[in-house]
A and B are shown apart, each in its own frame.
Chain A
Amino acid sequence: MKRDASIALVLFALVALLPLSGEAYWMRLGTTMLMYGVLAMSWNFIGGMAGYPSFAVAAFFGLGAYAGAVAQKFGVPMGFAWVGAGLLALVFAALLGVALLRLRGHYFAIASLVVAEVLRELVNSMTGLTGGGMGLNLPIPAMASVDAQARFFFYVMLLLAAVTFTAMLITANSKLGFGLRCIQQNESAADMLGVDTTFYKVSAFMLSGVFVGVAGAVYASWVYYIEPPDVFDVLYSVKAIVMVLLGGAGSMFGPLVGAAAFLSLEELVWRNYLEVHTGVLGLMIVLLVLFLPKGLISLSQRLGRRGKLR
């Protein structure tokens, strides 16, 4: 645990130096990468540790984005709106978890996938509160310059990613993390041996919701304008899963490695092949699942072992 914590400290400190580059492009990429990291690490609580194939990331993200935006519309200061959005996502995850976590396998996957669709339709139809399909504009934070704004949101995302990582590190080394790994291996046996599976699963689901909710709210403030198909996009759920798979599920740095690797690939494809970018994303997913199902981290182990044999 200490080793992981010190590696993480160095890593986050290095990332914090990024604004020195002074390039707006790198700032935007860095902020997106940190946001992706938050989504991937959050998914890791329920998907990586407990082994439940959750597609609820998009639901938490959209909920957080709209909660933060609507709160600011009514004059709540930005910081409070973000925290409030996180708390709302936490409560929502608790209620949803109690209902849905009784399902297993595909049934749970679909039920969690559907939640984002239902929320999107509801937000779409509540035009008075959320602007409906027209979307919602957010107040632009009063800051000296555009660069200062970019730096501000970068550091906010960095802080959020650090908090999420800390939560993940503490969870993985606690009784909760142990119980979740038991549930992943054999839920019925864990239940029989006295692990309170419902409590553990709901706790993991809440952890997987709260930081995504905050990330959604910060994202909304960062881009000033949100609309339902943008923030309730099922691709957020899929990307979180792909990033964790890419990095290596269940490992401490897997989600972060996956987020960085995924964003690099996505950015390359976006920049060079805009027309076919969803197709290339799909191809990446297919190749990843077929040839590298244990992630990039397993690659280094595999190469290492092969090296020793020679």
Chain B
Amino acid sequence: MPLLYFQILANGLVLGGLYACIASGFSLVWGVQNVINILHGSFIVLGAYLAYFAHLHAGIHPFLSILIAIPVFFAIGYGLQRMMINRIIAAPVLLTLTLTFGLDLMLQNGMIMAFTADFKKLVLDPPLGTIALGEVVLPVDRLAAMALALALTAMLYLILSRSRIGRAIVAVRMDREAAALMGVNVARIYAITFGLGVMMAGASGPLLAMIFPISPLGGPAYLGKAFVICVLGGLGSVPGAMIGGLVLGVVESFGALWFGPEHAVTLSFSLLILMLLFRPHGLLGRKGYE
């Protein structure tokens, strides 16, 4: 049996790399602004549609459509924060949560109208085939998607840790007032943060389109995973999202083996509640700045 376990572990890690990419932007926005972006899941779906239609009509490879997704989704996020979320950023958490929920209902409805409720699947022709690592067999498209997901996540990490704007974001996260006194334009930094978060969602869409079917109502499932990952890995840190994503991927794969795939949601949400109760600062155990 151990061979099966290696295969399941490999599947889980590949899935986990994608989950890390989904969650890192969500975690950034939550950690820096204390805003839960309910739209995150639907932006992933929108990114997947972008890849689907770019492939269908223009023959653009989904990996290349990431390059289109990055500026487009950054602009959407930046504008959204500037025009709406900044207006109520100081209000109780319930209001920001409700606002993004309302926006999500609009986006979902819009996607149903524009793309119909049918499931769509991006099929590459010819398919990329599989690769064998010893006895473990993995599909190349999944492996490549995971590698790109990890590269995107690493890019976000580098932006935050090396660039001037990234340092400003971290400064605002640590102490908003002090950062403002040091000359950081907090409203602009919030908009950039939200832009980066939405950009990560939109850019992971094409990767997920390679693997999963696309549905206009698929957003909440991704959102649920992002929640669980944030709680697993701790808020607002990119390495935390990475760890949380990999753990969730592996747990889901083994859970599907032992309990059956129909219990995946129950399993991951039970994990979420247990984590909230016993390790509220994540597996890494680093206390957040909130």
A complexed with B: yes
Query: How many inter-chain residue pairs (CB < 8 Å) link A and B?
Result: 115
Looking across the interface, which residue of chain A has its beta carbon closest to that of B98? Answer: A289
Within 8 A of A (CB), among B241-270: 262-263, 265-266, 269-270
A contact residues, range: 35 or more
Q: Residues 73-113 of chain B: 1 if any A CB is under 8 Å from the residue's CB, otherwise 0?
A: 00000000000100110011111011101111111111001
Is B97 a contact of A106 with CB atoms below 8 Å?
Answer: yes
Chain B contact surface mostly: helix
User: Nearest Cβ in chain B — how far from A193, in angstroms?
Assistant: 22
- Would A282 and B102 count as touching, CB distance under 8 A? yes
Whether the pair B98, A118 counts as a contact (CB closer than 8 A) is no
For residues 271 through 305 of chain A, which have their beta carbon under 8 Å from a beta carbon of chain B?
Answer: 275-279, 281-286, 288-290, 293
Contact B98 A238 (CB under 8 A): yes
Whether, in the assembled complex, B7 has its beta carbon less than 8 Å from a beta carbon of chain A, the answer is no
Decide: A103 near B276, CB < 8 A? Known: A285-B105, A290-B87: yes
How many Å lie between the Cα of A289 and that of B276 in the bound state? 28
CB distance from B180 to the nearest CB of A (A): 22
Given A121-B263, A122-B266: A53 in contact with B105 (beta carbons within 8 A): no
How far is the CB of A292 from the nearest CB of chain B, in Å?
11
B277 contacts A102, CB within 8 Å? yes
- A156 sits at the interface (CB 8 A): no
Distance (Å) between the CB of A57 and the closest chain B CB? Answer: 13
A150 within 8 Å of B (CB atoms): no
Other-chain residue from B84, B105, B269 in contact with A278 (beta carbon distance below 8 A): B105
Q: How far is the CB of B83 from chain A (nearest CB, A)?
A: 10
| Listed A/B pairs (9) with beta-carbon separation below 8 Å | A100-B273, A106-B36, A117-B265, A238-B98, A241-B98, A276-B113, A279-B113, A282-B105, A290-B88
Chain B residues within 8 Å of A, Cβ to Cβ: 30, 34, 36, 84, 87-88, 91-95, 97-99, 101-110, 113, 224, 227, 231, 262-263, 265-266, 269-270, 272-273, 276-277, 280
